[in-house]
Structure 1
């Protein structure tokens, strides 16, 4: 497996679980995919740690779903992968919201976790 393929597989491993938890509106499960000290920046003020992630996703409307597409990956170290993605958040009662997401996933003893998450709107 080449470096790009390997990096994409690592990102998909984490982000597929993130998408499943977001789509199911399970904020605690979403938060469990982040490191204890993760820096999280959605479209509200940033937070640090899993509780802030859980609070953010708990505030999202029921029925919100996410679809992502990996645009770029970089293997920054053996245990650190950078991802740049396009993400479409769909809602039951409003237009889709398209954003760009920069994320770092970091390897721990028991798997890969999101250590940095930053959403940008480019409109």
Structure 2
């Protein structure tokens, strides 16, 4: 399934190039967006969020799981790491729901949560 890699590659390129309008164009008009700040609905909120990110921020991602929820709907669980020039990186889990409409795939739901290191288990 190439839907999410293609969509997330474009997302990554737009973020790495600091093009918030291009990031926003990858979302549906009514997208639910939950970054690390309060949520927004729609492309305007996505564009504002990424316009507020520092120049030089980049992202690397790895798709962990995908599920086809319906013919035109795909769910993905992604690990992403946002890197900055002047502070430590931020590792997150990202859940996305992509929806195809009018022949194009767009992100309809985007939810980020901080990724915490796995706890080591201690023998009993």
- The alignment's TM-score, normalised by the length of structure 1, stands at 0.93
Structure 2 unaligned regions, length at least 5: 117-124
Aligned to 1:28: 21
Q: Which of 16, 41, 63 is residue 70 of structure 1 equivalent to?
A: 63
Cα distance, 1:109 vs structure 2: 1.1
Q: Whose helix proportion is higher, 1 or 2?
A: 1
User: CA–CA distance in 2 between the matches of 1:83 and 1:58?
Assistant: 24
Structure 1 unaligned regions, length at least 5: 1-5
Aligned to 1:16: 9
Structure exhibiting the larger radius of gyration computed from Cα positions: 2
* Residue 124 (structure 2) pairs with residue 122 (structure 1): no
* Residue 96 (structure 2) pairs with residue 103 (structure 1): yes
Runs (4+) of structure 1 exceeding 2 A deviation are: none
Aligned pair count reads 116
Cα distance, 1:35 vs structure 2: 0.1
